[in-house]
Amino acid sequence: MDLARTEVAPRKGRKGNAARLGLMALPVAFFGVFFAYPVAAIVARGLKVDGAWQFGRIGEVLAQSDIRHVLWFTSWQALASTALTLLVALPGAYVFARFDFPGKQILRAVVTVPFVLPTVVVGTAFLALVGRGGLLDELWGVRLDTTVWAILLAHVFFNYAVVVRTVGGLWAQLDPRQEEAARMLGASRFTAWRTVTLPALGPAVAAAALMVFLFTFTSFGVVQILGGPTFSTLEVEIYRQTSEIFDLATAAVLTIVQFVAVGAILAVHAWTVRRRETALRLVDASGTARRPRGTGQRALLAGVLGTVVVLILLPLAVLVQRSLDAPGFGYYRALTSSDGGAFLVPPIEAVGNSLTYAVAATAIAVVIGGLAAAALTRRDAGRLVRGFDALLMLPLGVSAVTVGFGFLIALDEPPLDLRSSWILVPLAQALVGVPFVVRTMLPVLRAVDERLREAAAVLGASPWRAWREVDLPLVRRALLIAAGFAFAVSLGEFGATVFIARPDNPTLPVAVAKLLGRAGELNYGQAMALSTILMVVCAAALLVLEGLRGTDRTGEF
């Protein structure tokens, strides 16, 4: 009997490994062709001369004072943005985790809206608030669009939900009785929080901080709009070197630098996530939220609500107000005409283009991400599978500008001559959507009892039927949420799309950036109108997600 079991176990393990490799095949091929190949092509184009690698060019580029300034500013602003985001958002994480108040679910959706907004819209919203002719300029004659403060505040606006969702989601599951026990033993409120709650929250805070640092380190749209010629991150400089100066060697060096930095960040993030999963033991604390009691808790709730109003609602409200400055919805009506010369087609067509591309990108991301999540389901996976997990996260940090320009360089010969094909844009957008699909579905798939799959296999079900009959009913909601996130982020992708979207088929973010780059009140007003439309579509998608999500904890967001 024991001998039979020992013989069955290796066979079962081999079948499991074979099935996992089969599931990984399509995602690996997708990332190899549409991510690794374009990035490698543009790096090779920049560092290869007459077939020989010119690695000495790396030292030459990094020795330039202006490049060193870009590297310094990229790192400095990312650190400052991360620290400021934690300072502002951690009280919000506590309030959403521990307090119960009317409108909490709607407010949770509201604070998440900025995260799914395109960075171009975020930059536009803050431009309407702190730029020339903005609200602060009109009221007090104050402009911040030429200072680093506009960039830092926009990054806090964009990443507030990362901290609230990641840290608050864990905080809500910590048993408050542990902290109460420490207080009963004589510890002060602060001492009990510092010695009991803070160590438990440490992995979640670290994971949130690393994600915020990653997003701000690779910031493009926000810095492009608010930084002007004064401030430039690595991503913005890669775009400038590629599209304006056409210095592919410098762009290739900066791509390598960003790739190494992002790889290090993701490695640390993966370590903190594993620590969070294995070292922390959570209890069922679904009833931990309660109505605020006492003056201090009510003041904290009021402070967080005030922060949400000023930091999140005010920029969005100013954006909407600026889009309505022209009487009779003039800016919106102007979107139906191409007389301004900025587009080959009326700007309003960008709405339909974006929706079409986003639907196609969502379908691709769900298929690729779903297969990848299924391959990563078992926690005892080896180094190969863990490396595959890290690969899936790379598109979030590697230069989207490099990917977009790499598409034009690499995918220009049969059988992959896709430069004139409409599918090129959804493919680039799907690269960004896949990580969100994986991160949303993976926790739910891991929660499925493995014995259910084994029982289906014993009864003769094929792997596909077992997935359809066992996994799919349990993960259907997570699948819909993953599709919603993929749709939202695809809708707002800008860095790669700005290179590959055809002039007669612009997307909303590309159209907004193009309008902002042209002088004139009409162009500015149309940019505000298109940004408002894009904001409303993203917010509607997010509200649908909140309705699907309910009280489930599927993933970090």
What is the percent of the chain where pLDDT is above 90?
Answer: 12
Q: What is the mean pLDDT of residues 396-414?
A: 80
Q: Is residue 100 a contact partner of residue 290, using CB atoms and an 8 Å limit?
A: yes
- At 553, the pLDDT band (50, 70, 90 cuts) reads very low
Confidence of residue 495 (pLDDT cuts 50, 70, 90): confident
pLDDT in tens, 426-459: 999 999 889 888 877 877 777 666 677 677 777 7
Look-up: residue for tokens 């176990």? Answer: 9
Crossing angle of helices 294-308 and 104-116, in 10° steps, is 40
Are 395 and 432 a contacting pair, CB within 8 Å? yes
- Quick: pLDDT tens for 214-270: 889 988 888 888 887 778 888 888 888 887 888 888 888 888 888 888 878 877 776
Cβ 403 vs Cβ 395: under 8 Å: yes
Q: Max alpha carbon distance in the chain (Å)?
A: 84
Is the pLDDT confidence value at 497 over 70?
yes
pLDDT above 60 (res 557) = no
> Between 508-516 and 349-375, two packed helices, what is the crossing angle to 10 degrees?
130
Lowest mean pLDDT segment, chosen from 69-73, 130-134, 202-206, 281-285 = 281-285
Strand partners, 99: 290
- Crossing angle of helices 314-323 and 521-549, in 10° steps, is 130
Q: Which of 425, 509, 544, 547 shows the shortest CA–CA distance to 117?
A: 509
Residue written as token pair 């969005």: 316
C-alpha–C-alpha distance, residues 230 and 356, integer Å: 36
HSE on the CB side for 431, CA within 13 Å? 33
Instruction: Name the phi and psi angles at 281, rounded to 5.
Output: -110, 115
**Under a CB-based contact definition with an 8 Å cutoff, are residues 529 and 348 in contact?**
no
**75 vs 524, residue with greater confidence:** 75
What's the pLDDT score for residue 82?
95
pLDDT of residue 548: 61
Q: Inform me whether the pLDDT recorded for 419 exceeds 90.
A: no
Cα-Cα-Cα-Cα torsion 69, 497, 373, 264, nearest 10 degrees, comes to: -10
Contacts of 82 (CB under 8 A, 6+ apart): 209, 212, 213, 216
pLDDT for the residue numbered 440: 77
Query: Residue 327 CB: number of other CB atoms within 10 A?
Result: 6
pLDDT of residue 417: 79
Q: Using one digit for the tens of pLDDT, what is the confidence trace for 333-389?
A: 988 887 656 667 888 888 889 999 999 999 999 999 988 888 887 655 556 666 677
For the chain, the average pLDDT equals 79
Separation between Cα atoms, residue 440 and residue 433, nearest integer Å: 11
DSSP string, 44-63: HHHHEETTEE-THHHHHHHT
100: tokens are: 């119960």
Between 80-89, 435-444, 465-474, the lowest mean confidence (pLDDT) is in 465-474
pLDDT at 9 > cutoff 50: no
- pLDDT category, 132, cuts 50, 70, 90? confident
Q: Mean pLDDT over residues 301-313, rounded?
A: 90
For residue 290, what are the β-bridge partners?
A: 99
Taking the C-alpha atoms of residue 405 and residue 239, their distance in angstroms, rounded to an integer, is: 9
Mean pLDDT of the 17-43 span: 82
Q: Which of 33, 85, 162 is nearest to 439 (CA)?
A: 162
How distant, in Å, are the alpha carbons of 140, 146, 338, 531 from that of 126?
16, 12, 27, 12
CA 82 vs CA 57, 140, 165, 198, 532: distances in Å: 32, 29, 15, 18, 27
CA–CA gap between residue 486 and residue 334 (Å, rounded)? 30
Own/partner contacts of 241-248, CB < 8 Å, gap of 24 or more, are 242/401, 242/402, 242/405, 243/405, 243/499, 248/42, 248/45, 248/46
Read off the DSSP letter of residue 131: S
Q: Residue 325: CB partners within 8 Å, gap ≥ 6?
A: 331, 525, 528
Give residues with Cβ within 8 angstroms of 508, minimum separation 6.
Answer: 118, 350, 351, 353, 354, 491, 492, 530, 533, 534
Residue 81: predicted pLDDT: 95
